Amino acid sequence: MKKIFTTLFIFISTLSISQPNTDGFLVFYNAKFNNQFGRGNDFREYQGKLIIQGNQSLFTMKEKGNIIPLDDKFNIDVSPDSLFTVYKDAESSSLIFDFSDINQQILYFADTLHPMQWILTQEKKMIDQITCLKAHTQFKGRDYIAWYAPSIPIDNGPWKLGGLPGLILEAYDAEDDWHLVCTSLKPTSNNTFLFYEKIILKGLEGYEAYTDYMQKIFRRIKSTLATSQTGDCLTCENKSVIKLHTWEKIY
């Protein structure tokens, strides 16, 4: 009996040592986005990337890009055509998203971490041989559908989406203007997010400040176009109609 116990103990110890030392995942998504949402069709292909390390994560969705070092310990993908970049820290309930203004200056704002109320269903499908369940929600003016994997108990997902009992492997809006599907998921480790941690320490304005900023830009554009018009616009047959189109609802 003693001999059998010793053999079993050695086998278990060997398994423990052979396991990779990681508490993170690297998730890649094939993505498409309609740049003319609500107006027409201009679909472009993107690659979404979700880096999860412990309680922190970073999602980026880029058509193409380069890696530019921001400091000695952190690199971030950047490109002129960057969308939906979001950093999350579950421990501090923090969410940061960026916005590139008309001068191509990147601004950062805070938002609520996973406030959406999901309706869960029992509808199933396989994504890359992983069983997923369907859920849907309304979030800032749009209806979203997500397919999450209960076998991967991480309540995270692409962009601002999350809060489900499993990692989101596919997500899209009801109009299918934005659609992502997981193509690869693998363990990773030693990812750091010092750049965003420093931003949080400095303090950020919230989503209301973002909406105010967008309204100011919109008013500035309208004013510029109005002053550039010539002639008696009260009798103009053709008048320019200016509308503000934002992916998230501007309150």
Give which of 143, 144, 178 is closest to 37, Cα–Cα.
178
Which architecture does CATH list for 24-208?
A: Clam (2.50)
Distance from the first to the final alpha carbon of the chain: 72
pLDDT at residue number 228? 63
Judged against a pLDDT cut of 50, whether residue 49 lies above it is answered with yes
Please state, in angstroms and rounded to a whole number, the distance separating the CA atoms of residues 36 and 6.
66
Map out the domains of the chain as residue ranges: 24-208
Taking CA atoms, 111 is separated from 7, 37, 115, 140, in Å, by: 54, 23, 9, 12
pLDDT in tens, 70-84: 444 444 333 334 568
pLDDT in tens, 115-172: 999 999 999 999 999 999 999 999 999 999 999 999 999 999 999 999 999 999 999 9
Please name the helix (run of DSSP H) or strand (run of DSSP E) that holds residue 149, with its range, or none.
Answer: strand 142-149
pLDDT in tens, 174-223: 999 999 999 999 998 888 899 999 999 989 999 999 999 888 888 887 77
Burial zone of 248 (CB within 10 Å; 0-12 exposed, 13-18 middle, 19+ buried):
middle
Please state, in angstroms and rounded to a whole number, the distance separating the CA atoms of residues 137 and 219.
32
pLDDT at residue number 5? 35
Least trusted range by pLDDT, from 4-13, 162-171, 237-246 = 4-13
